[in-house]
Chain A
């Protein structure tokens, strides 16, 4: 194998390694996006449920207090 062929082979494999690393990086990036979005959906839903629960408790307490006031009056 002459020097030129060896140089070409090295250059090609360096480019391949670079390409493969870029592919892996992109792959990993999208995996992170996927996991973040999936968990974000569930977290947002849980936060919505917490908000709804607080609102319900507040409304029930308010109505109970109002009914007690009316019954006393």
Chain B
């Protein structure tokens, strides 16, 4: 049953993405930026998907610390890994956009730096998990680290409000203008990327369960 849900969600995400790509390709170039503005249809949804992933990881980590149930630890690691992939896509698309519009690949402004720090923190979370063998200790340390890492997320989101940055000011919640039909496609693409992220998280979660089964089989093999 769960496999059917995973494949169904994945297929729906791919169909939506194909449809969105077709619609985005049909949009005219933006007057000031030209074609490159279309990257925003992937850059922003990838960032939102990654930020939602880190919020889910925070909730799962807190729940693990309260209940000590390993299923929450599995959710936290699955969603963090998937979120990291989306955040990487966000950083790289942003950098390519910056090369065309600003003439530089990177600048150490508050938004870009905090997003990079966020990526490094969550990469550190995954590295920390690899470094600890004992499952309970690994899950506890990782949960605490995940809560700590989440502190950077509000800084990433609000940095463009709090400081004057080279990164553009918010379009959707800062008084910017975006044509209605573009906003609709942006919303659909966000949904598509979130569905894709959910599918990947469910697959990764299944792997965590397989890993736990493998660990218990190994313990049994040692005991025999």
The interface of chain A, by Cβ under 8 A from chain B, is: 23-24, 26-28, 30-31, 33-35, 37-38, 41-42, 45-46, 49, 52-53, 56-57, 59-60, 63-64, 66-67, 70-71
Contacts and interface: CB of A to CB of B under 8 A. Distances in A.
Nearest to A73: B224
B149 interface: no
Interface string B167-180: 00000000000000
B220 A34 contact: no
A45 to B, nearest CB: 4
Contacts of B211: 56
A23 B206 CA distance: 47
**B interface majority secondary structure:** helix
B96 A42 contact: no
Contact of A34 (B34, B42, B203, B213): B42
A56 B207 contact: yes
Interface size class of B (residues with CB under 8 A): 35 or more
A70 B35 contact: no
Contacts of B100: 26-27, 30
A30 B96 contact: yes
Interface stretch (B67-75, B84-92, B135-143, B150-158): B84-92
Contacts of A37: 89, 92-93, 96
Nearest to B211: A56
A27 B46 contact: no
Given A24-B29, A31-B38, 4 more contacts: A35-B93, A53-B203, A56-B214, A64-B217
